[in-house]
Structure 1
């Protein structure tokens, strides 16, 4: 046997990867042994494959998927370094989100959501809105909204449209790091004035009916993600506890927006359309 080859047991000790993991990476094409005994099926690896195995072990410890590991091993060092830096940035963003979620939950446990977010009801009139829609998750939400409102205001300026209220976003489902939802960037305008024309793909005009809205406002850091989730939860809890029904997608209204997330000058309103309980719910 070639002295440059290591049996799988010794290679496992040198690389820090279990024999089971080595067999799995062989099957996936991530780390293929140099020689497989045709009789015993025993695997042998070159000594210079130890370094590669150690890199694989480190990448998998970072929860990088096997398919991505295989791609990165085939790339150059610069691409691998760039991927690691991006992974670190994503991990830091995730940690920031987790830290905010924990602090928000601790606040609600100690103070109660009702103490943190005061919920009121107001009447929202009928509105004609210019809408740019897409299905996104939270990681793509900021970029989508920035592009969407740039396009919406460009179309509005050609009218020019007369705005009747602040811009707002409608969420048709849960939009977080694990779930996509239909998201609408909305701009209300006067239905008796100039009307938009030559709308690009993905943009439309919609009519919203008059409706009651359960609302709360958040400012500064509380208007950033994930702290703002506490405001959504507070309104949703208030609606259910007071016996109302949810009558449409929740809205995030830009009462004051500097353009920079977490800016102390930001003020957002979370407004949920509500209806009276149905007969079935009352009974």
Structure 2
């Protein structure tokens, strides 16, 4: 037992509390070297101090316990932890940037209101036939999915060739951010009386979307980047609720101008939400801009 430290001394040496050490024992992250069968006292080897110190620093960096366990296993196998730490730092910096933008947007809304920065108008939309590729993603994977989806669909459209009838758009069936994943549909509208796509690859389909009335706003420049663009969705949703309309389908982000780079200030999107008059059970004909 001369090479073992009781849990109290080990806590002092490692900088972890006794409570934390018991938790890491229970979770399998740092089991003691010996547990007295009579008293239940835990004892740790002296060479476990460095492991415990590493755990303390990783938890201070908000590395989840499950991820800490995996990193320790890789370290014991001789793997370099630098790539994993660099990836964690990059993710933390991304979260911080998103949080800063969200706080800035929230402060603006509290002082000015979302509608002050987003003029909402109503437009009519005809029935459309669209080429669709869908996936369930979080925001981090959204750009990669959309790029691949549209590349694949343009390749299929070129074999037709299909005649496009409007701008490409994306339908969101829920909130797509870092906390929530949702069904996302990349859509290309094309002429129903012309060439039709054939031999569609797996995961690609053709949908006929009904005519709709849309409550809309446009965003460009910094306001078109994530998470600032969420304010535009909120402004349209707030307008729909305030004017007594019903939500009639998933919201769209329409590419009115696309430079090819996600954060380019030259991008311009239309946020378009299908609406209907709940009192009449139909589209609100006669509502103007």
Does TM, scored on the shorter chain, surpass 0.5?
yes
Change (3 A) 1:279 1:123: closer
The count of aligned residue pairs is 279
Q: CA deviation at 1:213?
A: 0.7
Query: What pairs with 1:1-283 in structure 2 (closer than 5 Å)?
Result: 1-2=1-2, 4-76=3-75, 78-278=79-279
CA–CA distance in structure 2, aligned partners of residues 211 and 38 of structure 1? 72
Instruction: Flag structure 1 segments of 5+ consecutive residues without an equivalent.
Output: none
CA–CA distance in structure 2, aligned partners of residues 123 and 106 of structure 1? 33
- Contact in 1 for aligned 2:131/2:189 (Cα 8 Å): yes
CA–CA distance in structure 1, aligned partners of residues 240 and 253 of structure 2? 16
Secondary structure, in 3 states, of the residue corresponding to 1:185?
Answer: strand
Q: CA deviation at 1:79?
A: 4.0
Q: CA deviation at 1:62?
A: 2.0
- Contact in 2 for aligned 1:26/1:33 (Cα 8 Å): yes
CA–CA distance in structure 2, aligned partners of residues 212 and 71 of structure 1? 51
Listed one character per residue, the Cα deviations across residues 82-141 of structure 1 (whole Å, up to 9, x for unaligned) are: 111111111111111111111111111222212100000011111110000111111211
Listed one character per residue, the Cα deviations across residues 148-168 of structure 1 (whole Å, up to 9, x for unaligned) are: 111111111111111111100
Q: CA deviation at 1:279?
A: 6.0
RMSD: 1.4
- Contact in 2 for aligned 1:222/1:262 (Cα 8 Å): no
- Contact in 2 for aligned 1:72/1:79 (Cα 8 Å): no
- Contact in 2 for aligned 1:163/1:187 (Cα 8 Å): yes
Q: CA deviation at 1:22?
A: 1.0
Q: CA deviation at 1:63?
A: 2.1
CA–CA distance in structure 1, aligned partners of residues 218 and 34 of structure 2? 66
Q: CA deviation at 1:142?
A: 1.2
Q: CA deviation at 1:204?
A: 0.6
Change (3 A) 1:267 1:279: closer
Moved more, 164-173 or 25-34: 25-34
CA–CA distance in structure 2, aligned partners of residues 28 and 250 of structure 1? 43
Q: CA deviation at 1:78?
A: 4.9
Instruction: Flag structure 2 segments of 5+ consecutive residues without an equivalent.
Output: 282-289
Moved more, 191-200 or 106-115: 106-115
CA–CA distance in structure 2, aligned partners of residues 151 and 129 of structure 1? 14
Q: Which residue of 1 aligns with 2:286?
A: none
Listed one character per residue, the Cα deviations across residues 8-48 of structure 1 (whole Å, up to 9, x for unaligned) are: 10000111111121112122221121222222221111111
Secondary structure, in 3 states, of the residue corresponding to 1:193?
Answer: coil
TM-score by length of 2: 0.93
